[in-house]
Amino acid sequence: MLKQFVPSEVCLKCQGCCRFKEADSVWSPCLLDEEALDLIDKEGIPAVALSINRRLQLVPNPKGEGFLCPFLKIENTKCQIYTRRPFECQLYPFLLNLRNKKVLLTVDLNCPYVKDKLNTPEFKEYTDYLAAYLNSPAQLTILKDNPQILQAYEGALDVIELEWENGTK
């Protein structure tokens, strides 16, 4: 499990994550192959709850507009599978962005905590930690084997380029 950048008490108050404008949002969590199998086997979710590209199928927000992650408990804004949440959820507000055949670690500036910490030593220390983790041979293999988690997120700030060369280190 990844060390988290945003403290959980901040996340629980924000109410920005896990909520989406469109049912087929690019921001919807995309799962690694093994995560998809685990959710089907261990959580008992039906395979139809995942799209063909292993995205969670979002559900309509019962309290208003938009859509929600199916694992978000709207009453307390907590994730039902937090201790087993997908890699992409652990990584957020950082994202793996595919642009011009390069894999970039980017950050979502819609996260208020990130906006406050962007130019701090804490932010630099965490991005260095993520770079080392994501550039490890084991993680690069996982990314290569799961290209579906590399997306083209608009409006995310580039942080670093990963050591990625056409799918190999």
Residue at 37: amino acid letter: L
Per-residue pLDDT at 114 exceeds 90: yes
Residue 40 lies in a domain: yes
Query: pLDDT tens for residues 67-87?
Result: 999 999 888 888 888 888 899
**Alpha-carbon span 166 to 150, nearest angstrom:** 13
Q: CA gyration radius for the chain? A: 16
Summarize the confidence of residues 137-144 as an average pLDDT: 92
Instruction: Please tell me the predicted confidence (pLDDT) of residue 63.
Output: 85
- 3-state SS class at 145: helix
pTM higher than 0.85? yes
Tokens read off for 105:
């670690």
Query: pLDDT tens for residues 3-32?
Result: 999 998 888 788 788 999 999 888 999 999
**Structural domain range at position 143:** 93-161
Domain co-membership, 62 together with 97: no
Which of 52, 84, 116 is the last residue before a domain boundary?
A: 84
* C-alpha distances out from residue 115 to 6, 149, 168, Å: 11, 24, 32
Which of 60, 84, 108 is the last residue before a domain boundary?
A: 84
Where does residue 29 rank: exposed (0-12), middle (13-18), buried (19+ CB within 10 A)?
Answer: buried
Nearest to 107 by CA among 96, 122, 116, 117: 96
Which of 54, 84, 114 is the last residue before a domain boundary?
A: 84
Residue at 16: amino acid letter: G
Residue 30: strand pairing partners: 55
Percent pLDDT > 90 in the chain is 51
Residue 2 lies in a domain: no
Residue at 135: amino acid letter: N
Residue 120 lies in a domain: yes
Overall domain count for the chain? 2
* C-alpha distances out from residue 152 to 2, 12, 27, 96, 101, Å: 22, 27, 10, 8, 11
Residue 115 lies in a domain: yes
Tokens read off for 165:
């060369």
Tell me which residue has tokens 């190999």: 168
